[in-house]
Structure 1
Amino acid sequence: MFSYYFMLGVRSLRRNPALTALMVLTLAIGVAASVATLTILHVMSGDPIPNKSDRLFVPHFDNGPLEGYTPGDDNDSQMSYIDAVNLLGSKAGERRTAIFGIALAIEPERKDIGAFIAQGLAPTSDFFNMFDAPFLHGQGWTPADDKAGADVVVLSRKLAEKMYGDADPVGRRLTMGSQQFQIVGVLDTWNVVPRFHRIIGNDDGAFDDADELYIPFSSAIRHEWRANGSTSCNADYQPGYQGFLASECTWIQFWIETASAGDRAELQSFLDSYAIEQRKLGRMKRAAPNELYDVRQWLDHLKVVGNDSKLSAWLAFGFLVLCLVNTIGLLLAKFSVRASEVGIRRALGASRREIFSQFLIETMVVGLVGGGLGLLLAFGALALIAMQSKALTMVAHMDWVMLLVTFAMAVASAVLAGLLPTWRACQVTPALQLKSQ
């Protein structure tokens, strides 16, 4: 019976083309607007590394001066060089990495490519395993390279192809920042969304482009390269690079990976003990709580999904409700002209339940057609949104989950809108309709 009613629903679309087109278009626009904003919110709020998001932690100490401090003030979420070096030398967690941004002048071997600036990171050797970075050629550097401050580099696939084409560049030497570096690895395409491991200090934050190169943290320090990104200094410090390193300026992002999520309490205890020891040395005078954020908490702390994005999603759903109200009115008009048909069917023995099923399935057909059109409109809307900025390009794309959500939302919306008109159609009195014929 379902297939028969479904075919009747398909045929009914051609019975009043203008009214049907208006219903489908109204539903499609509402669904497209909702799905487009929901897709962006879905991508922005997704878990970027679900297999270990509860085992990766950002520690945060408040090392600011006591003068002018009010308990509860939010201090910068980065770390000083002093604390980063101390934590790197500790046994906290299974892996540890300090990270800061770099920007270097590249001098390619190819004569047809002039010198250019490339942006990247200076992490430690644990970085690649901590964040599941995929390698196309070679591998990352070793802990021994960290210790020696070796001049080695890992390139992104995009940068490697720009300078070497499809050839494997591992083993070659590359001039960067007037220094010779040996290429030890090339990462495969690695677009993490949101880009959780380094949000602070980027133009587009969590939705910036992938980094182009990676060199050892200790090597960047040995060459006295300044951070390319956010640096916060709450007090004066001694002149020169060494004075900067010895200061309380915060400019490093730090991550710790534990063996299991259950090790969080032990890690927190270690951080608290470390802060107590530093206070004995005259540091961390504010005695503020030492925070520990896992990946999801870190994204929430930095407000990666802002209130504006959430408000946009609610407004889009409000627009969908408005479209459903209009669809209800159109369905009432469509079903009202079929009162005589319902009366004859009831007189021939059809039950109200059968009439209800028939008309409800017809609204499902409208929902399916509206969903198909809404999907096309959503793709168009996302394409227009992606053109607005580089950051939006990273999030304005639809996956299979949202593809299924689009059709489910369209059909559910049509069925919801059709409940009242369908119920009204079932209330037709056969005797009155037969008298009027």
Structure 2
Amino acid sequence: MFSYYFTLGVRSLRRNPALTALMVLTLAIGVAASVSTLTILHVMSANPIPHKSDRLFVPLVDNGSPENWVPSEGPNDRQLSYPDADNLLRSGVGERRTVMYNVGVAIEPPRSDIPAFSSTGLAPTRDFFAMFDVPFLHGQPWSAADDQRAADVVVLSREIAEKLFGDASPVGKQVRMKGTPYTVVGVIDTWAPLPRFYKLIGGQRFGNGEEFFIPFSNAIRHEMVHNGSMSCSGSRDPGWAALLASECTWLQFWIEAKSSSDRAEVQSFLDSYANEQRKLGRLKRNAPNMLYNVMEWMEEMKVVGNDSKLAAWLAFGFLVLCLVNTVGLLLAKFSVRASEVGIRRALGASRRDVFQQFLIETGVVGLVGGVLGLVLAFAFLALIGMQSKGMAAVARMDLQMLALTFLMSVAAALLAGLLPTWRACQVTPAIQLKSQ
């Protein structure tokens, strides 16, 4: 019986083409608008590293000045000072640790046909690559010994490696950066976690990643200027050494534990470390020491902002408005078929049979609206992606959202069709037969 009613639903689309087209278009626009915003929200809030997100932690100790501090205002900054980062790096806490900051340098290509160009990269420790599952196309990360001796080594992105050396492996070759020859030890493959959770402070949270990686100790040795945000609660002396000794916060730190159950152990260590530093006259605010896993860190940094959530609610509000209009159009469509319903009822069809038939017809409308809505959603996402590289990275639909588009369209049509279908079932056969 379902296949028969479905066939009737397909045929009914041709009865009043103008009214049917208006219903399908109204439903498609509402579904496309809501799915587009929901797709962006889905990508932005997705777990970027689900298999270990509960054992990767960002530690924070508040080293701000106690003057005029209100505890409800939260920590001084969401980064660490060099003394704290260096102490945590040497502590041995967790299975892996990495500290990082953004750097920008001029690269002098080995090829004469390419002029020097500026490039942005990251200065982490060796553990960075294993912590965040960075894939390698050629070579490997630098060694622990390279970290200790601040070696002039570099890991290139695939894009930069191909620009400088073509398709051949550049491992073992040299490239001059900031006037210093660096030996290439590896090339990472395409790696673009969404969002770039490992470095939410400074730079783009979505879009292209770093173009190169050098050891953190090397960047410190070469006094490479920090390319990002910095917070200093008090004055400091000029110079690189003064920056390293200051309480200015400008470094981002991650700890990887062996399992999520080790969180309490990491927190205990962080509390013990803060207490020791207070005995040395630091961390005078005596604020709580914070530890965030990946998803908590994304929430703390408001990766999904209130404006994105508001846009999603407005889109669903627009969908409700489209459903109200669809209800009116379905009432008009079914009202002209009162005589047909009266004859069917007189021939023995029950109200349940009529309800099933008309509801399946509205499902057919929803299915057609879903196809058109999918096309419009891709168009909307393409327009959104044209705004910036960051938006282009999140404005893409996966299989989950593809299935949701059809499910939402059919569900919306069925919801809109409940009242018109119920009204159609209330037709009195005798009155309709007398009017014929």
Residue 342 in structure 1 maps to residue 341 in structure 2: yes
Please state whether the residue corresponding to 1:197 is helix, strand or coil. helix
In structure 2, what is the Cα distance between the partners aligned to 1:101 and 1:332?
Answer: 61
In structure 2, what is the Cα distance between the partners aligned to 1:110 and 1:395?
Answer: 35
One-letter code aligned to 1:210? G
Match of 1:42 in 2: 42
One-letter code aligned to 2:169? D
Match of 1:89 in 2: 90
Deviation by residue 1:289-312 (Cα, 9 ceiling, x = unmatched): 000011111011111111111011
In structure 1, what is the Cα distance between the partners aligned to 2:405 and 2:331?
Answer: 25
Give ranges in structure 1 of 5+ residues lacking alignment: none
Match of 1:137 in 2: 138
Match of 2:114 in 1: 113
Match of 1:260 in 2: 259
In structure 2, what is the Cα distance between the partners aligned to 1:376 and 1:118?
Answer: 38
Deviation by residue 1:145-196 (Cα, 9 ceiling, x = unmatched): 1111111111111111111221111111110011111111111101111111
The 5 Å alignment of 1:4-403 reads 4-74=4-74, 75-202=76-203, 204=204, 206-403=205-402
One-letter code aligned to 1:426? C
The structural deviation recorded for 1:116 is 0.4
Percent identity over the alignment? 70
Match of 2:433 in 1: 434
Deviation by residue 1:246-303 (Cα, 9 ceiling, x = unmatched): 1111110000000111111111000000000000111100100000011111011111
Return the TM-score normalized by structure 2. 0.99
One-letter code aligned to 1:317? F
Please state whether the residue corresponding to 2:72 is helix, strand or coil. coil
The structural deviation recorded for 1:208 is 4.2
Please state whether the residue corresponding to 2:263 is helix, strand or coil. helix
In structure 1, what is the Cα distance between the partners aligned to 2:162 and 2:80?
Answer: 34
In structure 2, what is the Cα distance between the partners aligned to 1:348 and 1:256?
Answer: 75
After TM superposition, the runs of 4+ consecutive aligned structure 1 residues lying more than 4 A away are none
One-letter code aligned to 2:248? C
In structure 2, what is the Cα distance between the partners aligned to 1:22 and 1:73?
Answer: 53
In structure 1, what is the Cα distance between the partners aligned to 2:135 and 2:244?
Answer: 32
Q: RMSD in angstroms over aligned alpha carbons?
A: 0.9
The structural deviation recorded for 1:390 is 2.3
How many residues of Structure 1 are paired with residues of Structure 2 in the alignment?
435
In structure 2, what is the Cα distance between the partners aligned to 1:340 and 1:71?
Answer: 73
In structure 2, what is the Cα distance between the partners aligned to 1:275 and 1:377?
Answer: 54
Deviation by residue 1:391-412 (Cα, 9 ceiling, x = unmatched): 2112111111110110000000
The structural deviation recorded for 1:198 is 0.5
The structural deviation recorded for 1:68 is 2.2
In structure 2, what is the Cα distance between the partners aligned to 1:331 and 1:70?
Answer: 59
In structure 2, what is the Cα distance between the partners aligned to 1:69 and 1:2?
Answer: 69
One-letter code aligned to 1:248? E
Deviation by residue 1:184-223 (Cα, 9 ceiling, x = unmatched): 1111101111111001121x3x224211000000011111
In structure 1, what is the Cα distance between the partners aligned to 2:115 and 2:68?
Answer: 50
Return the TM-score normalized by structure 1. 0.98
Please state whether the residue corresponding to 2:154 is helix, strand or coil. strand
